[in-house]
Every structure is written in C-alpha cells, then in structure tokens.
C-alpha cells in the first residue's frame, strides 16, 4: 500500500556511486515518484544528474516537475543538465511545468532547447511564459477538456476521447462546456456523463454556475477561491471570457504552501529562505538584514539609556527590568499582529475593520496588561524592596502593553490598505519597534515618578 | 462568473433585522454558499440563527458543515440551535460533517437528535464518532464508490448508478476496486470508465498501485501523503485492509490550514486562538501563558544583572547594550528553529539529521556573527569611546550567536525525537531562553575582560 516511507536512499546512493546503472534502473522501476523524490533531494548535485539520466524519461520529467517546489535545488539541477537531455524531458512535460523549467534557463540555452522542440510545444511554452509566474496564467495548464453545449453525451464522449489522446491528457475530473466562440458557459462533473443516457444533451446536463478565474488574477487570490468553493480544478478565462486553461488542486496546494512559508519567513526573519537551501552564503544573505534591523533597534535602546544616564547611575535597579519590558512589548505586538496578518490573508479580516479589531485587541490588553503589571510589581519588590518603583514600573508596563497593542494591530492593517504585504509588519519589524518604544516609555515613566536618591 | 466578492452583507443584515423573511429568502436563493458564509460570519449569534432558519435545508446544512473550520463560532451556533432544526440539517449532511456537529453537543441533546434520525444515519454517525477527531477516521466520509474487479465496465456503471442514488453521493472522481471481501485492491480514474469499451473488465483497467491510509493515521500525516502524491482523494482502510471510507482534498486542505495555523500560533505566542474568536476572555487565556513565560525570562535577566551589580555600577555603559544582545540572541534562535520546524513538518528534514543541520546552521552563524560583531564594535565605540569594551562586547556577541544557533537548531530536533511537537520550541520559548542566556553570557564575558575602573 506504500503508506509507510521505507527509505531506499542508501541503496540508490550506493548504486549511483559504483556506476551500476543496470541494477539502479531495476531498483527505480519498482519505486514511485514520491520515493524517488525523497532520495533525490538527499543526493549531491552530481549524483542527482546521474539519477535523472538513469530514470526513464516519463519518470524523470515527473521528478523535474515536482522539483520546482524546491527552487534552489531546481535551479541548480536545471542549469547543470545538458541541453539535449533537458529538451527530451521538457517534451514529456505538461505545458505549465515545461514553462517553469525554461524560465530559469539563460537565454542562449532556452533558445537552443525551444528550437529543438516540435512547433506546437514550442508555441505552448512561449505562450505561457508571457504570464506573470505568480498569476493564474503562470500556474495554469493550457490543456483543458471542453465540449460544445449542443452535443449529445455520446458525441461529447467521442470528442473527449479524440482530444485526450491527441493532447496526451492523463487526468481530468470536470468537463467544461463552451459555446461556438470558446466562451465558458458551464461545467459537467465527469461522473454525470458516465451515469446519464448517451442521448441526453450537454446543455441539459451542465451546471451554468461555473466559478472561473481571470488569467491575470494573483495566485493567492486563485488559491483562496479554490479553497472557499471546495473545487478540485478551476477554469481560467481570458479577457474575452474564453476558456484558455485550468488550474488543478495540486498546484493550488503548492501556492498555499508557498504563501504560508513566505509569511512564516517574515515572522521568523528568514525571508524567502527555503528549508533545502544548500548555500551557506545565500542563507546568510537572506537572514542578515533582519539581524541588522535588530541591531539598529538595540542601538536605539542604548542611546535612550545613555540619555537617562544621570538618573540611571543613581537608581541602577531600573535597568534590571529593561530586558523584561523590551521582551514583553515585542511579544504583545507579535501576538496582535500575527492574528491580524493571518486574518487578512484568509479574508476573515478586512482592512477596513481597523477600529473594530483595534478595540478587540485593546480589550484583551486591558485584561492581560494588569495581570503582567501585578507580576512585575512583585518581582520589583522582591529584587529591590522599593515600593514606589514597583508601582511605577507596573504602571509603565501597562502603558507599554497598550502601545504595543496599538502598533501591532494598526500597522499591518494600514500596510494592507496601501497594498504593502502586511506580513512584513510582523516579526522583526514589529518586535524591534516595540522593544525600542517599550524601553523609552518605561524609562521615561519610571525615572519621572520614582523618587531618585540625590 | 462570481469571481469578485460583492458583499450582500448589509442587505442581508437589514432583512433579518426587519424580519422580512420572504425578501430574505428571495435574496439568498441567488447567492452561493461562499457568499452566504461571508455574510454569516459577520453576523451576531442571534442573527446567525435566524439566517440558518431562513435558508433552505440543503444550503443551511452546507453552511453548517463549512462553519466547522471556524470552531468557536461553530460551537456557539450548534449549542444554541434547537434540537429539531439541527436534526433536520444533520440528516442532510455527509456522515463526517454530521459527526462533527454531534461531537460538540452535550450528551442529552446529542441523544435526542441521534434518536430522531433514521437508523442508518444514526449508525453511520455513532460509528464515525469512535475515531479520534484528528485521525483519518475522524475526517473520512464513509460513502465511497467501489466496484468489484470481476465486473465489466457496463456492469460497474450500473452498480455505481444504483449506489450513488441510494447514498445520495454528489461528487466522486475515482472509483475504487475491491475483491469479494471488501479488500482494497486498486483504483480506476473515472474518465477511464467513460472512455473505454463497455465490455472491458475492471481488473484490466485498474491501477493496482493504490495509495491508501490507515483509519488510525494522524490527519497531518494523511495530508502530507495526499500532497506528496498529488491525490484528489485518498481511500481509508481498516486493519484488515478493507475499504471503509475516503478523504477528499477539501478536507485535506482544511487539515493543512489547521496545522499551519497551529505552528504559527506557537511561533507568535497566540496558542490555538482563532482569528474569529469573539470572546475577549478566551483570547486573553490563550495568550497570557506566553506573556508570563516572557516575564519569567525577564526576571531571570534581572537577577543576572543584579548579581553583577558591583561591576555594573562602575561600568554602567555595559548595560546599554543588553537589550541589543537579548534581541539578537532571540532573533538568531528563531531563524534557525523556524526553518527546522518547517522542514520537520514537511518531512524535508529528518530528526536524525541533527548534526548535518546543526553544522549548516553554525556555518551560517560563522558568517553572520562576525558581521554583527563588527557593527556592535562600532556602536560601542561611538557611544562609550571604550576600545577594550568594544572588542570584548563584539567577542561576547559572537559567543551569544553561536549559543543561540545551537539551542535554536538542536532543541526542535531533540523534541521531535521524543515525539513532542517541535513547534512548541520556537517562538516565545526559544526567544525567552536565548534572551536570558544571551544576557548572562554577555555580562560574564564583558565584565571579565573589560578593565573596570576601581
């Protein structure tokens, strides 16, 4: 049943290493694409190329198509493959996958490979490359099964049979209905064709309430539509409402994954870095901006402390709680902002709900702020025996919490309104800003209201 | 085409408010489930119940099934509905959705509703409720189309027609093949049945390499299998390898979403809180443990600073950079840990790869650490004019970075090995630990190696 992953990786590696190509081929024949991918991803580049050579074309092209989700590895492998092998695999691939491969090649190699393809495939690929890679057009498959509304079921089946053989279509679950101008006017679930009389007319079977996406629509928007409507495939139309492709659920899942990890990368300060990134330099480059941001915020805090130096020298205990205040401000802000960024992404929160949301977040802080303040009060008392300072520090903490809530809630919503990715406002940006604000507010309040010994 | 969301929310709200039920029904008739859901989620509980009453049963049951993804709202609505209406909707629902509804009811109401259902539905629901709600059994639909391997296509189609009418199955894309004991032995894509001769045998058409999941498998594991194999539906088998249900891709997407947000909640310190959570108390309860954790870490830092008080009084400038050090330690740790948690979730990283991963993360830190150290050196010089302190602080920072990298990389992998959710180790836990460790390491090194004026 292939449920449990059993790793054939060691054997595969050994067979490649010792160049026992025949034995390798024999082993690979019994594995499925997922098993091969699992091993492939653990190999060094040189061995990855050997493995692709050893695989039958139809499997190798599947592996390459899947590899697109692991972009640093994908780019390396594609760049290193020789043009002839690569051309052979591209010919086997679906149009959308083939276009993804050609897109990462340098111009010269791309031209060489495109030139070697049959005219029809070449046109299909160059046609797809027109679209933004993050739009519906960039992820659609131009091969889509459609029938005329005037046909009977029997005639439609005949047409489908011809078309699927010609275009080598392996899977489809929904048949779209078009008029004589290729306009999309409905759909028929394939099981309906199977279970209905052969003499029935398509136009009587079809559901006219078809949800389609425009070829220029952003892929995240497409994914949300597919998820909301529980679709397994969504048709793509051009500006004349003509059917030009389809996007299947597996590609939609890849998009959702990609968008999710993009958000996570912003929150964690790793940028677009991928788990399988092999280059230490690229990883370092993805991460260092976020660290420098933290350093700049920290320098701000140092400047703030220096400007209060005269008072701090007399009451150094105030400084002991600065890390606590900074951390709390950051934590509060990231709680509010992450919930809001999440809601904006799924559409559960609209950018116009600013005040409703802010009020809800503030009410939460009116509960949590005092709880934290009382705890801090106890800690200050325990450590310094200074009652006034305890009370003042607790009040300062409430101010920090309220401020952090306002910043954490408002900034992502305001960014969304001006069309900047709100996820950028969570993670390092928001924590750094609130570390710094927190330190300034805390020092100002505590040093103003606590009796400083002269 | 229904692409752009046009909001009918205001009108719906007005019609409910003024009790113009007929006009409301007329409007709802023209909307699809997604449009109704969008409005529904913005209504107050009382109006939500009115809206469900106004909807035709088959739409209301769809809305209720979709609502399961918004668990606080779902629970509230289900608890407040009267048993009779709820029973009527449950009868309309698929078995898995119906079981979700019954699961949140108190025992008395559940018994009342189950008692009012036809025997077959009641058995189906109680049967499904046996399974853990986060297992394959908890999300599967027990209605699955299957045919005998000995049948011809014509006979199989006849059987499918009978079964789908009897069980009221609306959609299916794959037909499973079973032997006489109900053992799962293969599958046929439905378009193959459509495009093949009626006299062909199922056993000649079927693909025997069917990927199935065990009824007890964890839902996240199921989702990863569906994603890896690009399936639209996966069959569920019991321990005797008999076919007992199917899980469709829309449910798998819901699972992936749920798991994503669970991880995000751990990283951001919001726990299981949902975007649409309406109760301020529940939100506060979800968030406060993470804040208290931060306070405890901060208190640790305060204790550390107090224990160095004698030195700090003489060299207070050292304190200015404590917020910077704490923030940097936290940021570095969260970068490493988030990448690792991500990889462990998708299976791209195995828990056994500990040293390989740690070494990669360390190499990144050997690049980023010195860059940050040089920046800090400049900042210290600028603010204090103390060359020795600049050098020592820079070195201390490198130590903090290395330590944070080790903790951030190793902890999630070690947790995974002992089967604790590694996502717990990122976010507040890891930042708090590294804030504290960072402060201690920084103070120890700086105060030991800088000349302290006597």
Which two three-digit tokens encode residue B8?
């009918």
Determine, for residues A439 and B323 on separate chains, whether the beta-carbon distance falls below 8 Å: yes
Residue of chain A whose Cα is closest to the Cα of B334: A268
Residue of chain A whose Cα is closest to the Cα of B1: A211
Residue of chain A whose Cα is closest to the Cα of B344: A275
Determine, for residues B379 and A157 on separate chains, whether the beta-carbon distance falls below 8 Å: no
Determine, for residues B253 and A250 on separate chains, whether the beta-carbon distance falls below 8 Å: no
Which two three-digit tokens encode residue B62?
């769809």
* Cβ atoms within 10 Å of A417's Cβ, excluding its own: 12
**How many angstroms away from the CA of A85 is the closest CA of chain B?**
25
Determine, for residues B294 and A331 on separate chains, whether the beta-carbon distance falls below 8 Å: yes
Query: Among candidates A319, A321, A315, A301, which has minimal Cα distance to A397?
Result: A321
* B213 sits in which H/E element: strand B213-214
Residues of B in Cβ contact (< 8 Å) with A288:
368, 371
Determine, for residues A281 and B367 on separate chains, whether the beta-carbon distance falls below 8 Å: yes
- When pLDDT is averaged across residues B21-29 and rounded to a whole number, the result is 87
Confidence of residue B1 (pLDDT cuts 50, 70, 90): very low
CB B241 within 8 A of CB B259: no
**A214 vs B3, B172, B230: nearest CB:** B3
Interface residue of B205, B331, B333 to substitute, partner A, most A CBs within 10 Å: B331
Interface residue of B284, B302, B316, B328 to substitute, partner A, most A CBs within 10 Å: B302
Quote the percentage of chain B above a pLDDT of 90: 43
Predicted local confidence at residue A454, as pLDDT = 61
Pairing, β B146-148 against β B174-178: parallel
Determine, for residues B335 and A290 on separate chains, whether the beta-carbon distance falls below 8 Å: yes
Residues of B in Cβ contact (< 8 Å) with A189:
171
Predicted local confidence at residue B370, as pLDDT = 96
Residue of chain B whose Cα is closest to the Cα of A195: B161
Q: Highest mean pLDDT: which of B261-265, B289-293, B346-350?
A: B289-293
Residues of A in Cβ contact (< 8 Å) with B372:
291-292, 295
Predicted local confidence at residue A265, as pLDDT = 85
The crossing angle, in degrees rounded to 10, of helices A322-346 and B249-268 is: 160
Residue of chain B whose Cα is closest to the Cα of A185: B1
Predicted local confidence at residue B188, as pLDDT = 95
Torsion angle in degrees (nearest 10) through CA of A38, A40, A42, A46: 180
Determine, for residues B284 and A249 on separate chains, whether the beta-carbon distance falls below 8 Å: no
The pTM (predicted TM-score) of the whole model is 0.81
Query: Would you give per-residue pLDDT tens digits along chain A (454 residues)?
Result: 444 445 688 888 888 888 888 888 888 888 888 888 888 888 888 899 999 988 888 889 989 998 888 877 888 899 899 888 899 999 888 888 899 899 888 888 899 999 989 988 899 899 899 999 889 999 999 989 999 999 999 999 999 999 988 887 878 999 999 999 999 999 999 999 988 989 999 999 999 999 999 999 999 889 989 988 889 999 999 999 999 999 999 889 988 888 888 888 888 888 777 787 778 888 898 899 999 999 999 999 999 999 998 888 888 889 999 999 988 998 999 899 988 988 887 777 888 888 888 999 999 999 999 999 999 999 999 999 999 999 999 999 999 999 999 999 999 999 888 888 888 777 788 888 888 999 999 999 998 888 777 6
B221 by Cβ neighbours in 10 Å (0-12 / 13-18 / 19+) ranks as middle
Q: Per-domain residue ranges for chain B?
A: 11-130, 146-257, 280-449
- When pLDDT is averaged across residues B113-129 and rounded to a whole number, the result is 89
**A268 vs B267, B348, B360: nearest CB:** B267
The verdict on ipTM greater than 0.95 is no
**A363 vs B249, B263, B280: nearest CB:** B280
d(CA A395, CA B255): 43
Interface residue of A212, A302, A340, A435 to substitute, partner B, most B CBs within 10 Å: A302
Residues of A in Cβ contact (< 8 Å) with B376:
295
Residue A347's Cβ-side half-sphere holds a number of Cα atoms within 13 Å equal to 17
B146-257 in CATH: which number?
3.10.580.10
pLDDT > 70? residue B408: yes
Of residues B273 and A237, which shows the higher confidence score? Answer: A237
Predicted local confidence at residue B208, as pLDDT = 94
**How many angstroms away from the CA of A111 is the closest CA of chain B?**
31
Q: Given this chain, do its domains A146-257 and A280-449 carry the same CATH topology?
A: no
Averaged pLDDT of chain B: 89
Domain B280-449 has CATH 1.10.357.20: yes
Residues of B in Cβ contact (< 8 Å) with A1:
210-212, 237, 241
**B367 vs A284, A295, A305: nearest CB:** A284
d(CA A5, CA B211): 12
What's the pLDDT tens digit per position in B58-111?
Answer: 889 989 998 888 877 888 899 899 888 899 999 888 888 899 899 888 888 899
Determine, for residues A270 and B339 on separate chains, whether the beta-carbon distance falls below 8 Å: yes
Residue of chain B whose Cα is closest to the Cα of A429: B331
**How many angstroms away from the CA of B365 is the closest CA of chain A?**
8
Query: Among candidates A213, A236, A149, which has minimal Cα distance to A185?
Result: A149
> b vs e for B184-214, b when ≥16 Cβ sit within 10 Å of the residue's Cβ?
bbbbbbbbbbbebeeeeebbebbeeebbbbb
Query: Among candidates B322, B401, B328, B285, which has minimal Cα distance to A324?
Result: B322
DSSP A44: -
Q: What would you measure as the largest C-alpha separation in chain A, in angstroms? A: 101
Which two three-digit tokens encode residue A311?
């008072």
CATH tag for A11-130 (out of 3.40.50.10320, 3.20.20.140, 2.130.10.10, 1.25.60.10): 1.25.60.10
Determine, for residues A334 and B268 on separate chains, whether the beta-carbon distance falls below 8 Å: yes
Determine, for residues A241 and B1 on separate chains, whether the beta-carbon distance falls below 8 Å: yes
Which two three-digit tokens encode residue B414?
């070690």
CB A440 within 8 A of CB A371: no
Which two three-digit tokens encode residue B428?
């507040």
Residue of chain A whose Cα is closest to the Cα of B164: A195
Confidence of residue B454 (pLDDT cuts 50, 70, 90): low
């Amino acid at each position: 049943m292939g449920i449990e992953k059993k790793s054939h990786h060691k054997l595969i590696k050994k067979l490649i290493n010792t160049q026992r190509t025949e034995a390798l081929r024999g082993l690979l024949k019994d594995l499925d694409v997922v098993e091969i991918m699992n091993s492939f991803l653990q190999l060094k580049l040189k061995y990855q190329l050997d493995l692709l050579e050893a695989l039958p074309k139809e499997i190798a092209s599947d592996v390459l198509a899947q590899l697109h989700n692991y972009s640093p590895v994908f780019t390396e492998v594609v760049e290193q493959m020789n043009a002839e092998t690569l051309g052979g695999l591209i010919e086997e691939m679906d149009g959308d996958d083939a276009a993804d491969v050609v897109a990462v090649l340098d111009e010269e190699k791309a031209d060489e490979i495109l030139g070697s393809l049959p005219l029809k495939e070449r046109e299909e690929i160059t046609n797809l490359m027109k679209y933004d890679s993050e739009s519906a057009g960039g992820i659609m498959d131009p091969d889509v099964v459609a029938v005329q509304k005037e046909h009977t079921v029997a005639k439609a089946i005949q047409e489908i049979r011809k078309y699927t053989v010609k275009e080598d279509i392996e899977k489809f679950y929904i048949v779209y209905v078009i008029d004589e101008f290729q306009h999309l006017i409905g759909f028929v679930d394939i099981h309906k064709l199977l279970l209905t009389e052969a003499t029935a007319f398509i136009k009587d079977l079809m559901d006219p309430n078809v949800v389609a996406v425009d070829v220029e629509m952003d892929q995240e928007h497409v994914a949300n539509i597919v998820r909301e409507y529980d679709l397994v495939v969504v048709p793509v139309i051009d500006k004349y409402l003509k059917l030009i492709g389809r996007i299947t659920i597996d590609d939609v899942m890849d998009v959702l994954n990609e968008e999710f990890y993009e958000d996570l990368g912003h929150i964690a300060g790793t940028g677009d870095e991928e788990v399988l990134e092999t280059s230490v330099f690229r990883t370092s480059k993805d991460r260092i901006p976020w660290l420098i941001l933290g350093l700049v915020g920290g320098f701000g805090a140092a400047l703030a402390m220096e400007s209060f130096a005269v008072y701090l020298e007399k009451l150094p205990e105030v400084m002991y709680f600065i890390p606590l205040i900074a951390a709390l401000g950051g934590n509060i802000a990231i709680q509010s902002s992450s919930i809001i960024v999440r809601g904006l992404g799924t559409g559960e929160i609209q950018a116009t709900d600013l005040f409703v949301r802010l009020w809800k977040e503030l009410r939460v802080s009116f509960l949590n702020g005092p709880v934290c303040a009382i705890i801090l009060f106890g800690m200050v008392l325990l450590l310094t025996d200074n009652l006034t300072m305890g009370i003042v520090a607790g009040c300062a903490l409430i101010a920090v919490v309220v401020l952090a809530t306002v910043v954490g809630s408002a900034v992502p919503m305001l960014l969304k309104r001006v069309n900047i990715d709100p996820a950028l406002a969570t993670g390092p940006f928001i924590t750094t800003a609130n570390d710094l604000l927190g330190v300034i507010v805390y020092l100002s309040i505590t040093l103003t209201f606590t009796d400083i010994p002269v």
